[in-house]
C-alpha cells in the first residue's frame, strides 16, 4: 500500500482541548559522540517538531557544552558517563532509572553514538534491559551487527530505521540484493525479529512483518548526512502521541519526506539541508491536516 495524504490524515493523532504536555509523550533521545554532535541536535529538533510533549536528550558529559549551545531551549538534558567522548557502559543504570523517574514513553536510540568498544557494550546492555518502545538507528544498529539476536531478546516494542548498508550488516545480504528486493527483505526481517522495519531510500519501505507500506514523499535532496537523524527523532516523538508503532512510523516517514519536498522547492535538491527540512515540518503537518 502506498502512503497518501488522506491515509496519513486518518491516522494522525487528535488533540483534546483540555490536554496537557504529558498527554503527548515524553521522548528520551540517546545520541551523539565526539564526531557526531550534530546527530543529537538534529534528532532532538525533529522530535520536538513532530509534537512530542516533552523531549529529553541524553549525552556524554564531556560533550555537554558543544551540544547544548546548539539545542533549542525546550529540550531537557541529562549527562552520562563517557570514555573518549562517547557513552560508556556505566550509563545503563542511570538511563533506566531516568526512564522510570521521568515516565518516558518512547526512546530514540543510536544516532551518532559511535562504535567504540565501550559504547557497543552499553548498547547491548541497554537494549536488553529497556522495556519502553524504542526507535533504533545508525550506530544503535551497527553496534549489534555481530549479535543481531539481541533484537529478538528485547523486551521493548521496537522500530529500526536502517538504510540499505545498515540492513546489509545485520542480515549479511549484499546491498545490491537488498536494493533489488527491498519490500521482501524488509518484510521478512520485520517478521523474523518481531519489529517494524523502516528501510530508508526511494519510496521508503515500512513493514511490520505482515503489511507493507511504500512512502510517496521525499526527494534526492534528502540524501545528505543528518536527514536520518531527523526521521528517527520524528518517529520516536510520534510514538508518544499514538499507541500504534506502525502508525508512528508511517506518520514520521511521510511527514519527513513532505517536509523535504517543501525544503527542496525553496532551497533546491542540491542545496537543501536537514535543518531546512526541520523548519518545514510545521508546514508539512498543516498540509496533511
pTM over 0.95: yes
How do residues 21-60 score in pLDDT, each as one tens digit? Answer: 999 999 999 999 999 999 999 999 999 999 999 999 999 9
Q: Is 263 exposed, middle or buried (0-12, 13-18, 19+ CB in 10 A)?
A: buried
Q: Does residue 113 have a pLDDT over 90?
A: yes
- Which CATH number applies to 5-12+24-288: 3.40.50.970, 3.40.50.720, 3.30.360.10, 3.40.1190.20? 3.40.1190.20
Please state, in angstroms and rounded to a whole number, the distance separating the CA atoms of residues 280 and 223.
17
Q: Does residue 243 have a pLDDT over 90?
A: no
Closest to 248 (Cα-Cα) out of 257, 260, 236? 236
- The strand pairing partners of 136, in sequence order, are 109, 160
Alpha-carbon Rg for the chain, nearest whole angstrom, is: 17
pLDDT of residue 171: 97
Q: Does residue 93 have a pLDDT over 90?
A: yes
Percent of the chain with pLDDT over 90: 100
Q: What are phi and psi of 135, to 5 degrees?
A: -110, 120
Backbone angle region of 288, left / alpha / beta, with phi > 0 → left and psi within -120 to 50 → alpha: alpha
- The strand pairing partners of 76, in sequence order, are 56
Q: Does residue 132 have a pLDDT over 90?
A: yes
Give kind and range of the element (H or E) at residue 193. helix 182-193
Closest to 129 (Cα-Cα) out of 95, 103, 106? 95
Yes or no: say if 49 and 37 are a contact pair by the CB < 8 Å rule.
Answer: no
How do residues 174-197 score in pLDDT, each as one tens digit? Answer: 999 999 999 999 999 999 999 999
How do residues 38-47 score in pLDDT, each as one tens digit? Answer: 999 999 999 9
Cβ-based neighbour number of residue 223 at 10 Å: 14
Amino acid at each position: 500500500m502506498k502512503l497518501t495524504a488522506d491515509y496519513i490524515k486518518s491516522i494522525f493523532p487528535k488533540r483534546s482541548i483540555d490536554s496537557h504536555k504529558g498527554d503527548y509523550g515524553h521522548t528520551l533521545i540517546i545520541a551523539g559522540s565526539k564526531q557526531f554532535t550534530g546527530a543529537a541536535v538534529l534528532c532532538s529538533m525533529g522530535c520536538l517538531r513532530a509534537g512530542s510533549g516533552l523531549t529529553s536528550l541524553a549525552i556524554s558529559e564531556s560533550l555537554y557544552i558543544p551540544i547544548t549551545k546548539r539545542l533549542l531551549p525546550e529540550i531537557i538534558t541529562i549527562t552520562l558517563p563517557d570514555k573518549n567522548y562517547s557513552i560508556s557502559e556505566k550509563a545503563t543504570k542511570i538511563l533506566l532509572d531516568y526512564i522510570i523517574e521521568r515516565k518516558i514513553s518512547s526512546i530514540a536510540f543510536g544516532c551518532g553514538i559511535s562504535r567504540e568498544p565501550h559504547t557497543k557494550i552499553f548498547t547491548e546492555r541497554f537494549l536488553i534491559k529497556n522495556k519502553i518502545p524504542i526507535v533504533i538507528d545508525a550506530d544503535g544498529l551497527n553496534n549489534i551487527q555481530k549479535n543481531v539476536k539481541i533484537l529478538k531478546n528485547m523486551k521493548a516494542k521496537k522500530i529500526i530505521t536502517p538504510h540499505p548498508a545498515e540492513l546489509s550488516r545485520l542480515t549479511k545480504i549484499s546491498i545490491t540484493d537488498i536494493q533489488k528486493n527491498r519490500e521482501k527483505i524488509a518484510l521478512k526481517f520485520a517478521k523474523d525479529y518481531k519489529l517494524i522495519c523502516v528501510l530508508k531510500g526511494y519510496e521508503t519501505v515500512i513493514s511490520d512483518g505482515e503489511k507493507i507500506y511504500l512512502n510517496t514523499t521525499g526527494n534526492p535532496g534528502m540524501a545528505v548526512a543528518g536527514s536520518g537523524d531527523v526521521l528517527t527523532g520524528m518517529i520516536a516523538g510520534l510514538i508518544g502521541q499514538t499507541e500504534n508503532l506502525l502508525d508512528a512510523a508511517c506518520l514520521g516517514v511521510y511527514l519527513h519526506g513532505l517536509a523535504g519536498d517543501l525544503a527542496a522547492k525553496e532551497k533546491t535538491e542540491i542545496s537543501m539541508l536537514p535543518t531546512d527540512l526541520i523548519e518545514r515540518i510545521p508546514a508539512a503537518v498543516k498540509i496533511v491536516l
